[in-house]
Structures are given as C-alpha cells and as structure tokens.
A and B are shown apart, each in its own frame.
Chain A
C-alpha cells in the first residue's frame, strides 16, 4: 500500500510526514525534473506502508515542475490512497486544490491541520459537516501537538474513497464537458485539463481546444480563468457553511515590524549577517577539529604505509578529497543549512523576499531571487539548482551568473585561511565588500544585456511560526545528502585526476606556460597558477595547494600581503568550481555554463591585475 500526502505549501505536510514516518526518509529526484520527492515508511499493526510527500502546490492546472509532477502522479494513480492536507485557518483557499484533486476520483481522506491555530483565531470548523459535503472522511488534526495524528493511517487504510464533491462550473463549461465525455468518452478531469490546454491525447486536445476558443470568445476570459473563478466561488460556499467566525485572541502582529522598510531592512541585514557570521565561526571551529582528526587518524598512517609511489599518489588524492569534502560539508555547509532551514521554516524567508524586492528590481530580478542568492553563501551547487523558482529564462540566467560570484563556504575558507589569517581580518571583510560591489555592477550590466522579460514576485507569506528542531535537522540533513551526492563524486574524481597529472608532470608544464602571466600581470609566484588551477576543481583546494607548493603552512613568510590578497580575491572570483559548471550546464545549458565560466575567469584576472597594478 502506498499513501501520498498532497496539499498547499506550508500546510504542515512535512510535519505530518515526519510524524508518520520517523527517520529513514529517502529523497528521490523524480525522473526528468529537479523536484525532490520524499518517501518514507510507516508501520501500523505490524504492516509496513509507504508514504510519499508530494511537493506543496496551489493548483493542479499549472505548468511549474511541481504541479506537473503531482498532476502526472495523480493521472497515473500511483498511490492507493491520497491524504489531502488542508490548513484550518485558510480552509477556503485550500479547498480550491481539494476540489481539483476530487475530480481525479482517487480514493482519499482529508486532514484539516492546524486546528489549534484556528481555535486561537476564534474559528470553529464543523468537521462532520465538511465530511458530509465532500463525501470523504475528514480528520481535524493539530500536527504540532500530535493531536489526532494517530488517526490518519487507520483512516487512510479503512475509509479512503473518492470524494463525491464536484464543482458546479459555468454552463458553457459543463456543456463542453458533457459533450467531450459523450463524443470521446474521456473522463471529466481529463476533459477539464484539456479545455485548459493540458493533455497528451491529440484528438482530445484538438476538440477541446476548439470548444475552449468558442467559450473564451463568448466570455472574454480564458477557460482557465472561468474554471478557477467557479472553483473559488464554490470553495467559498463550502467554507462559509462549515466555518464559524468567533472572537479571536489578538496577539501582537510581528509583521508590523518585519515587513516595513523600517525596521524591517535593518532586521533583514542583521539576520543574514548574523547567520553568515555564525556559520563562519562555528564552521571554522568544527573544521579544525575534523581536519586534524582526519590528518592524524587517516592520512599520516596511510602515508607511512610505504606503498609504491603511484598508489600512494592516488590514495593520498582520494583521502585529501574526502578530508576536504568532510571539512567543508559538515562544518560549513551543514551549519549553513541549519540556519537556512530555520529562516525558511520560521516563515522569515518570504518576508526577506518581500523586502528585497525593491533592491532586486534594480538588478533585473525580483524578491524571490534572494532565496537562491542566500543559498549561494552555503554552496553554489544547490543555489544554481534553486534558480528554477524564478519564472523566466532571463531571471534564471541573471541569477545563475550572480550566484556563481557569491562567496560560498569553500571560498569563505580561502578568505579566512589566507587573508584573515595572514593579512588581517578587516582586509578579509574588504574582499566581501569588493565581491559585493562586483555582483551589483555585474547585475546592472547583465540586466541590460540579457534578453527576455521579467515576471515579478507573487509569494504567499507563510504565517510566522516557531521552527521545529526535528524538521529543521531533517531538512538540513536531506540537503547535505544532496550536496554530498553531487559534490563528493566530483571532488574525488577530480582530486585523483589532479594527483595523476602531478605524478606525470603535466602540472609543471602548465605552470611553465602561464608563468609570464602569473608573475608579470598578477605579481604572484609561478606556483600560484597551479594553486589557482586546483581551485577550479574545488575552491578551498587553492588554499591547500598553495600551502603545499610553497612548502610551508606559514604563507606570510613566502608571499607578501599584496600577493596573498591578490591570490585570495582571484581564487574567490575566478571560474566557478567544476560541480557548479556541471549544474549550470544541466540547468541552463552549455552556453550559459561557458559564458559564466569565462566571465568569472576574465573578471578574476582583471581584478587581480588591477589590484597588483594599484598596490605595487
């Protein structure tokens, strides 16, 4: 048996999913999309059932990856029972999706979550009456307190049945549905989708298309609009019948602070600044522990094994890759993800998006783009993957370009390890400042030259709430797993390849070729070019390689401050790492991947040369 949770974003599906399944959740990328699908198991009366957490959506009639995924899932009838999750205080809006789901005639039960919040707002819901109207079992749940969560699985097993509720559509739509059903004998929900231009069946889409055009001419509105309006109106009728509005316990509205320019913007800057600083401090501390443990426990014993030179080289490369991966992944990326999940789960991220809208407009983006940008401070790879939340190609392109410039955790390590340690902490911050200015300048430039149009922000502001430790950790864990699966293999393979290059002397040859450029233009020692090259594979490797090639960890003794500073800024800017280029290629195509790489290469060398020239 398989159950699937379906509902709007932010209704508490994940809370319920986590309470039902406990640990051992798997995340699969649905074939052909970037959307993650969580799958877990639940035990009931010594039997195991599979639970799928479908991504949160507002409608089944849209074309976003999530909507298409859920729609296909329902069309295939992949689950034995659907568990529709609705939000009690926002019942009316949530019923809109439920009315659409009902049309698929799949066995289902319905959960009205956040009953506690509704009670606080003075709303009382007549669950029995709602159940009667919809023709399915409805359970009132307060997932955060665990109220009635135990009733979900027995109900899904015992009483799941297709809902009987049907939206009464405009008579032209109804007539079209009937005639399609009669002539082509296709089911109602497929006809509805076909009228809105969504169907794989060529005959159906053709017939429905011509009917739809006729209806649109008569109504002067799109069929989609007519259907949506009918559904919303019916949802209102249903909701007003079961929801009684009473006295609400008024509490202080924190949004009156968070969404105003004052003090909202200072709060936003402080929040993000605090988060990044904490990641930096906690990360460096944890990294030191992990790296030294790994060196003492694994690398030193391995090096003393006395294997043949080639085997030693390959083995060491592999171990160094693992060490670097772990040294970045857990201390920096994981800590960052915890912070990010806190921001998201508390609902603050949507406020941040709203406030950032104005600034983002200046650079050809809109508020929602702040989310990928912030993720970029953790790791560029998931940040590039998340640009798909932006609707147009233009916005995605600009955002992807800028994200490759945002200093990720690995670049933070370089800045901290080279500049903060040997030149001074203020100089380290000045690198952030320079990068920030460059991002803004690049953005202004890109927003002029990138073709395409802007879509604008439409974001539901999820209610502020206290994030739950367990969900935050679970979410961070899922994300870090994603990071490990994407970045780790690339890390290991490139590290071994570099080890072999070094072994066969290819690296020295490269160093000799670019030496004039390195020494005269950038004013760096010749071996710095090799370190930079390594940095393409993994940013923090630039720092480590530099130390190895310089023959000392005390870089201050072999390079002067200007050289260290130049080196750091070049490696921060110059060419995104291999994993980033790979996701750029996968998500936005070869052209953007090449352009972004060349752009940052050029920018890195230009700024490096400029600093060298000015400070020499």
Chain B
C-alpha cells in the first residue's frame, strides 16, 4: 500500500475517533478523505492485516496502539504545517490545509519540531545581539539615535552582562522610555518607570528602541 495513503487513513481515523469519541465506519472515513469507499475498504483491510487497526464486525474501525501513535504524529505534522503556512507565510487556510496534506508525508520529525519552536517565538528583531545565530543583521535604531524629549519603546537589549542591571531598572522589551537629556557624547538620562537613569553612551547604544506610536 502507498505509504501516504496509509498515513492519510490513520490520520483520518485518529481525528474522527477524537472528534466523535467513537470508532468511525468506512463511509465516514471515505467522506473525510474524499475518496471512494472501495479504496478505503481495501486500505483498511491492509491496515488491519498490518496490525495498525482492528476492523470490527460491526463495520467500525479502531486504532491499535501503533496505529494510534502514527496517526497522531501525522495529525500533528499536518496541524503544524498548516499553521505555519497560514500564520507565518500568509497562505489562505484551505490551500494551506491542502498543501499540508501533501507535505505531511515527506517532512521529517525534526523539521516539524523546529517549525513548532519557531512559531512559539518567531525571532524578534532584538535577538540580533545574541550573536551566534545572527540571521538578522539589519541595523536597529538604538537609544543613541534619538533626541531629547523623544518617547520610545524598548525593543531589546544587546549583550547579556550589562542587561542584568538594566533589567532590574525596568529596561525590558515593551517598556516605555523618554529621553530627558542627551549630551554631546551621547550620554543619556532616560526616564523609565518614573525614575531617571543615567547611561553611558556605550550602554545607551546597546538598548534597541522604536518610536512609540
């Protein structure tokens, strides 16, 4: 049997079982996969022979432990891919689903995990300073690029040692800051959380900011 048909079948049975809380019959599976019942019938028979499903006498299909595991895995791949295609790449949901149906059979578990991690926290712009990965090298505006009186929002801090004291003082991503004083050498006094903080130019240059809306 075609491995992708096997995966499709297991995935469909897995999802149908989960949604309706009972074992589906051949007809339901066929309509879920939009395939003729005959093809499903023979597929399920093969699966039963392989020990992936149990084909009950009442015509319903139940997954065995191995079938259950494979089915779940494929379902997760589908979900992740569909989400990635629609949320991150901006495809519309139904074509994302169709595409995911094809890709899910070829994609490795590792790729899926990496896509999953990526989607939980897409690389924010300020990750630049963490260096080694360095996929985003576009120059970001730092505190020193703005002038006295500007209202800004912190988007990140470059470099970790310094970050600790800055974090304690409230310089965290998303926080509002206002430049109260800027000297010729770019030493700054910023107001953050109601407190004035004096910063050396090199410290100020390590704080990435955006103009607040």
Query: A220-B127, A222-B160, A261-B183 are known contacts. Are A459 and B198 too (CB-CB below 8 A)?
Result: yes
Give the residue name and chain of the B residue nearest to A260 (CB): B181
Q: In the complex the two chains form, is B202's CB within 8 Å of A454's CB?
A: yes
The interface stretch among A129-137, A308-316, A352-360, A539-547 is A352-360
Given A229-B172, A458-B203, A92 and B194 contact (CB-CB distance below 8 Å): yes
A225: interface (CB < 8 Å): yes
For B160, what are the chain A residues with a Cβ–Cβ distance below 8 Å? Answer: 222
From A228, A353, A463, B172 is in contact (CB under 8 Å) with A228
Q: Do B168 and A228 touch (CB < 8 A)?
A: yes
Given known pairs A92-B194, A219-B121, A232-B175, the reply for A361 and B203 (CB within 8 Å) is no
For window 37-62 of A, CB contacts with B under 8 Å fall at 58-59, 61-62
Q: How long is the Cα–Cα vector from A338 to B166 in the complex, in angstroms? A: 32
Residues in B neighbouring A353, C-beta threshold 8 A = 198
In the complex, besides A89-B194, A220-B124, 7 extra interface pairs with C-beta distance below 8 angstroms are A62-B164, A93-B195, A228-B167, A229-B174, A358-B185, A366-B200, A457-B187
Q: Is the CB of B166 within 8 A of A458?
A: yes
Please state if A357 and B198 are interface contacts (CB–CB under 8 Å).
Answer: yes
A93-B193, A217-B117 as given contacts; A225 in contact with B183, CB under 8 Å: no
Enumerate chain B residues within 8 angstroms of A96, measured Cβ to Cβ.
168, 170
**A458 to B169, Cβ gap below 8 A?**
yes
Can you list 25 A-B contacts (CB < 8 A)? A58-B169, A61-B164, A93-B192, A96-B168, A218-B120, A220-B121, A220-B123, A225-B163, A229-B167, A229-B174, A232-B193, A233-B174, A255-B196, A259-B181, A350-B198, A355-B183, A357-B183, A357-B185, A357-B200, A358-B183, A361-B185, A456-B202, A456-B203, A457-B203, A460-B197
Report chain B residues within 8 Å CB of A229.
167, 172-174
A93 lies within 8 A of B170 (CB): yes
A222 to B158, CA, bound (A): 12
Among residues 117 to 131 in chain B, which have CB atoms less than 8 Å away from a CB atom of chain A?
Answer: 117, 120-121, 123-124, 127, 130
Q: Which residues of A contact B167 (CB under 8 A)?
A: 59, 224-225, 228-229
A366 CA to B165 CA, complexed, in Å: 16
Q: Which residues does chain A contribute within 8 Å of B124, judged by CB atoms?
A: 220
B199 on the A face (CB < 8 A):
yes
In the assembled complex, the CB of A56 is this many whole angstroms from the nearest CB of chain B, namely 12
Q: Is A367 an interface residue (CB 8 A)?
A: yes
Min C-beta distance of A115 to chain B, whole Å: 15
The 5 closest A-B pairs by CB, nearest first: A456-B200, A58-B168, A456-B203, A59-B168, A461-B196
Tell me the B133-189 residues at the A interface (CB within 8 Å): 157, 160-170, 172-175, 180-181, 183-185, 187, 189
- A455 and B193 in contact (CB under 8 A), knowing A357-B200, A461-B198? no
User: Is A459 touching B197 in the complex (CB atoms < 8 A)?
Assistant: yes
Q: What 0/1 pattern do residues 83 to 102 of B give for CB contact below 8 A with A?
A: 00000000000000000000
Give the interface size class of chain A: 35 or more
Contact flags (1/0) for A496-531 with B, using CB distance below 8 Å? 000000000000000000000000000000000000
Interface of B is mostly: mixed
Q: Residue among B163, B165, B185, B192 with the most chain A CB within 10 A?
A: B165
Given contacts A58-B168, A228-B167, contact A92 B193 (CB under 8 A): yes
Tell which of B127, B174, B195 touches A460, judged by Cβ atoms closer than 8 Å: B195
**Chain A interface mostly:** helix
CA distance A518 to B32 in the complex (A): 105
Q: Which chain A residues lie closer than 8 Å to B130 at the CB level? A: 220
Tell me whether A470 is interfacial, beta carbon within 8 Å: no
For A461, what are the chain B residues with a Cβ–Cβ distance below 8 Å?
189, 195-198
Judge whether B162 and A455 touch: CB under 8 Å. Answer: yes
Interface check A586, CB cutoff 8 A: no
Residue of A nearest to B117 (CB): A218
Contact B195 A458 (CB under 8 A): no
Q: Does A90 contact B (CB under 8 A)?
A: yes
A458 is contacted by which of B165, B172, B180, B181 (Cβ under 8 Å)?
B165
Contacting residue for A456 out of B185, B195, B199, CB 8 A = B199
Query: How far is it, in angstroms, between the C-alpha of A220 and the C-alpha of B199 when the chains are bound?
Result: 25
Residues of B within 8 A of A460 (CB): 169, 195-198
Nearest-Cβ distance from residue B13 to partner chain A, whole angstroms? 31
Query: Within the complex, what minimum Cβ distance (angstroms) separates A524 from chain B?
Result: 44
For residue A355, which residues in chain B have a CB less than 8 angstroms away from its CB?
183
State the CA gap A229–B155 with chains docked (Å).
12
**Alpha-carbon distance A89/B196, docked complex (angstroms):** 12
User: In the assembled complex, which residues on chain A have CB atoms less than 8 Å from the CB atom of B120?
Assistant: 218
Q: Assuming A217-B117, A218-B121, A220-B123, is B198 touching A58 (CB within 8 A)?
A: no
- CA separation between A224 and B166, bound complex, in Å? 12
Verify B165–A62 contact, CB threshold 8 A: yes
Contact A232 B172 (CB under 8 A): yes
Whether the pair A358, B197 counts as a contact (CB closer than 8 A) is no
Interface residues of A in 78-92 (CB under 8 A from B): 89-90, 92
Distance (whole angstroms) from the CB of A58 to the closest CB of chain B:
4
Closest Cβ neighbor of B163 among chain A residues = A225
Contact, CB under 8 Å: A457 / B170: no
Given the known A-B contacts A93-B170, A219-B121, A261-B184, are A354 and B198 also in contact in the complex, defined by CB atoms under 8 Å? Answer: yes
Determine the distance from Cα of A457 to Cα of B200 in the docked complex, in whole angstroms: 5
Task: Kindly list chain B residues whose C-beta atoms are within 8 Å of the C-beta of A357.
Answer: 183, 185, 187, 198, 200-201
The docked-state distance in angstroms from the alpha carbon of A353 to that of B187 is: 11
**Which single member of A93, A217, A366, A457 contacts B169 (CB below 8 Å)?**
A93
Least distance between B136 CB and chain A CB atoms (Å)? 11
- Contact in complex: A93, B194 (CB < 8 Å): yes
* Closest chain B CB from A220 CB (angstroms): 5
A350 / chain B contacts, CB cutoff of 8 Å = 198
CA–CA, A107 and B5, complex, Å: 64
Q: How far is the CB of A88 from chain B (nearest CB, A)?
A: 10
Does B200 lie within 8 Å of A361, measured CB to CB? yes
Best-buried of A92, A455, A457, A463 by chain B (most CB within 10 Å): A457
Which of chain B's residues has its CB closest to A459's CB?
B198
Residues 106-140 of chain A, each 1 if its beta carbon lies under 8 Å from chain B, else 0: 00000000000000000000000000000000000
Could you tell me the distance between the alpha carbons of A266 and B157 in the complex, rounded to whole angstroms? 34
**Assembled-state Cα–Cα distance A608/B160 (Å):** 47
Most interface-central of B124, B160, B175, B183 (chain A CB within 10 A):
B183
Residues 200-219 of A, flagged 1 when their CB comes within 8 A of B and 0 if not, give: 00000000000000000111
Would B164 and A224 count as touching, CB distance under 8 A? Answer: yes
Q: Which residues of A contact B192 (CB under 8 A)?
A: 93
Known contacts A220-B121, A358-B185; A62 and B198 CB within 8 A of each other: no
Cα A514 to Cα B120 in complex, Å, equals 76
> Once the chains are docked, how many angstroms separate the CA of A259 from the CA of B189?
9
A458 touches B200 (CB 8 A): yes
Query: How many Å lie between the Cα of A355 and that of B200 in the bound state?
Result: 10
Minimal Cβ-Cβ distance residue in A for B164:
A62
B175 nearest CB neighbor, chain A only? A232
A213 to chain B, nearest CB (A): 13
Structural contact, B198 and A456, CB atoms closer than 8 A: no
Instruction: Name the A residues within 8 Å of B199 (CB-CB).
Output: 456-458
